[in-house]
Amino acid sequence: MSTYDIKRGVSLYSYQEEYFLRQKSLEDLIKVSAEMGAKGIELISEQTFPDYPNPLDPSVYDNWHALMAKYGTTPVCHDFMLDYKKYKDRPMPFEEQVASCKVDIDHAARLGCPYTRALVSIDPKVLVACADYAESRNVRILIEVHAPLHFDHPWIIRHAEAFEKSGSDYLGFLPDMGMFLFAFPPVWKEKFMRDGVPPHIADYICKAYEDRVLSEYVILEVEKMGGVGPAIGMATTLRHNAAFEPKRMLDHMDRIWNIHAKFYEMTEDLVEPSIPYDEIIRVLKQGGYKGYICSEYEGNRWIQDAFPVDSIEQVRRQQEMFKKLIGEPQAAVSAA
C-alpha cells in the first residue's frame, strides 16, 4: 500500500501573455489562482521581478509574502536559469556556476520556496557541489526532466547516479509532463496550417506521430510530398517530442518533489487532447506522490497570431480536470 497527497498549484509562467502585456498584475494572478484552488505558486523570477537576478529590494520579498498571506497561497518553486554561456570566448568557470546557483538558492529561501528548478542542461557536478549549501537553506534543487529528454536518457541517468552517489536528500527531479505527448497537439497543427502547411501534409505528420514513425523518415517524406518552409518546420517538431511512458516516473518517485503539468489546450469538456492526464494521475497515485502538480500553459504562442489568449480560462479548465482526477475533496489517502 502507498499513500499519496497530490496538491494543486500553478506556475505563473502559465500567464505569461497577460503579464507581459500588463493586462494582469502579479497580485491579479495570485488572486485568480487561489480562487481556482491552485494554492501552490511556482514562478520564474526573471519574468516576475524586473530586476532579477540583480539583488532585489527587501520590499519585493515583503510584498511577495504579503500576497501569499492575503490569498492563502504557498510558495512552491523558483525556476532558475544558469547563464553558463555568458562569455563568448570561454565557458563560465565551474566555481562561478556554483556561485550563481547559490544566489538562486538564497532567493528561493527568501521567497519561502522549498524547491528550485534547475535547467536540464546544468552539469550534475554543479548541482552536487551546491547540495550542502541547499540543505543549509532548506531548499531542494530539482533538475527538470523535459522533452526531448526522459528518465531513460543518458544525461538524466547521469544526474540520477550523481544524486545517489552524493547521498544528499536535497537533489531531485521535476518532471515536465510534456514528455508524455501521446498525440500531436491540435493547436500546433492549426497554427502550422495557418502558416501555409497544406492540409494533406499536416494530416500525414499527425498520423506519422501517432504511428511513432522516426522523425527523420517523416521529414524526408514531407520533402518528397513537396513540403517546404513551414511544412518542414512542422515535421521537425517530431525531433523534440515523444510519447514516453508515465510509469517511468515510478522508479524515481523518491526524488520527485514537484511536477510541471504542461498543456497546450484544454477543451470545454476539460480534456487535454495530447497529454494523457488520466494515466499520469493514476501513476502518481500508484507511486505515492506527495507534492504539487503545477499547471504550465504553453498554448498561447500557438494561437496568439489569430485568436485572443485567455490563459486564465485555460488554467481554470485544467484545474477543474485535476479536481476530478485527483478526487477532491482529498487528504492523504491510501492507494493500492
Gap between the Cα atoms of 212 and 202, Å rounded: 15
Q: What pLDDT shows up at residue 329?
A: 66
Kindly give the interhelix angle for 94-111 and 124-136, rounded to the nearest 10 degrees. Answer: 40
pLDDT tens for residues 114-168? 999 999 999 999 999 999 999 999 999 999 999 999 999 999 999 999 999 999 9
Answer yes or no: do 176 and 197 share one domain.
no
Residues in the chain predicted with pLDDT less than 50, given as ranges, are 1, 330-336
Answer yes or no: do 286 and 316 share one domain.
yes
3-state secondary structure of 10: strand
pTM: 0.94
Q: What pLDDT shows up at residue 84?
A: 86
Q: What pLDDT shows up at residue 92?
A: 94
Q: What pLDDT shows up at residue 334?
A: 42
Answer yes or no: do 102 and 40 share one domain.
yes
The grid coordinates of residue 155 equal 544525461
Gap between the Cα atoms of 114 and 1, Å rounded: 27
Answer yes or no: do 175 and 250 share one domain.
yes
- 111 φ/ψ sector (left φ>0, alpha ψ -120 to 50, else beta): alpha
3-state secondary structure of 57: coil
Please state, in angstroms and as integers, the Cα–Cα distance from residue 32 to each residue in 10, 93, 266, 279, following that order.
11, 42, 18, 28
Answer yes or no: do 331 and 264 share one domain.
yes
Residues 6 or more apart from 323 whose CB is under 8 A from it?
8, 37
Answer yes or no: do 232 and 247 share one domain.
no
The total domain count for the chain is 2
Q: Count of residues for the chain?
A: 336
CB 256 within 8 Å of CB 163: no
Answer yes or no: do 145 and 203 share one domain.
no
Answer yes or no: do 43 and 174 share one domain.
yes
Answer yes or no: do 232 and 102 share one domain.
no
Q: Which domain holds residue 225?
A: 186-237
Answer yes or no: do 233 and 142 share one domain.
no
Domain end position, chosen among 194, 216, 237: 237
Domain end position, chosen among 194, 210, 237: 237
Answer yes or no: do 27 and 127 share one domain.
yes
Answer yes or no: do 48 and 119 share one domain.
yes
